[in-house]
């Protein structure tokens, strides 16, 4: 496609142009002037100021209008992933980590879709988190992050422990604020409330709304409800039915104990 090639560095032999006013040559010359790589403070300021005055969108013309020697694509990315005032920076909170695990188990690598439920977080950031943290652990376990084996590990071990740990922390630090921050649920329209939250493709946050209603003080109930809503196939117990998996999960737990996938590692990111 034309758009994607616009940022390509010129490679191979240069094509001699017979005429100076050859549009193709002019385009190539313009491309060679384009800057790539890290943005400078000046460029950031220019972009921010231009958007403040003119709004965002029409990125190619915006780049030209602002006098930036960048592609529109590059400007868009810089704005969305870094310069936007509502971009949240810093480590993911426990709530966010849980939500990412939850949503990824449901939607897979639909980063932008997942990002829609984490206000202030970008798809790029979530993708990076998944690749650097989650996939790393999958690798340590000698399995693929998208495999059922790994998903089971998340289901039976990581998520329950993460949730439990968070609840314990909350109970010691605060009275009892419902788990997943109501702020983001409200801002994303997630606090709605029916129980069958994941029946459809569009995630309404029902699980979290449920979790936060009254029962949060009891992590056992919370987890049970969590599993019923999220993985109904688990029935009442949070144990794998299949013996092979059971053995593997046992090994996984031992691995946890041996510290090769330490909760502290997960939590120290906060």
Partner DNA sequence: AAGCATTCCAACCGCTAGAAC
Partner DNA sequence: AGTTCTAGCGGTTGGAATGCT
Burial class (CB in 10 A: 0-12, 13-18, 19+), 119: middle
Alpha-carbon distance of 94 to 123, in angstroms, equals 18
Joined tokens for residue 137: 């652990």
**Alpha-helix runs per DSSP H in 133-242:** 135-140, 148-153, 159-173, 182-187, 206-212, 219-230
**Cβ at position 93, least distance to DNA in Å:** 14
Alpha-carbon distance of 180 to 163, in angstroms, equals 10
**Cβ at position 219, least distance to DNA in Å:** 27
Alpha-carbon distance of 66 to 115, in angstroms, equals 28
Footprint of DNA (CB under 7 A) = 1-5, 7-9, 35-39, 57-61, 70, 72-74, 76-78, 81-82, 89, 91, 109-113, 123-125, 127-129, 131-133, 136
Phi-psi map region of 213: left, alpha, beta (phi>0 left; psi -120 to 50 alpha): beta
**Maximum Cα–Cα distance across the chain:** 78
């Amino acid at each position: 496609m034309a758009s994607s090639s616009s940022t390509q560095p010129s490679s191979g032999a240069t094509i001699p142009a017979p005429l100076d006013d050859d549009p193709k040559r002019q385009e190539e010359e313009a491309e060679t002037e384009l800057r790539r790589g890290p943005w400078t403070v000046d460029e950031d300021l220019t972009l921010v100021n231009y958007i403040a005055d003119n709004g965002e969108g029409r990125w190619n013309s915006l780049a030209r209008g602002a006098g930036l020697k960048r592609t529109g694509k590059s400007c868009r990315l810089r704005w969305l992933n870094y310069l936007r005032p509502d971009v949240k920076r810093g480590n993911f909170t426990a709530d966010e980590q849980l939500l990412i695990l939850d949503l990824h188990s449901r939607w897979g690598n639909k980063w932008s879709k997942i990002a829609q439920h984490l206000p202030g977080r970008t798809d790029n950031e979530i993708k990076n988190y998944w690749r650097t943290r989650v996939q790393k652990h999958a690798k340590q376990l000698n399995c693929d992050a998208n495999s059922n084996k790994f998903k089971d590990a998340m289901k039976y071990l990581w998520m329950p422990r993460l949730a439990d740990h968070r609840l314990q922390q909350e109970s010691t630090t605060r009275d009892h604020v419902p788990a997943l921050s109501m702020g983001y649920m409200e801002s994303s329209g997630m606090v709605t409330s029916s129980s069958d939250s994941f029946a459809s493709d569009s995630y309404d946050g029902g699980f979290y709304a449920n979790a936060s209603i009254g029962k949060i003080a009891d992590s056992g109930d919370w987890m049970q409800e969590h599993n019923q809503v999220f993985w109904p196939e688990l029935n009442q117990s949070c144990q794998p039915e299949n013996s092979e998996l059971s053995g593997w999960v046992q090994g996984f737990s031992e691995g946890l104990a041996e510290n090769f996938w330490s909760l502290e590692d997960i939590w120290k990111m906060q």
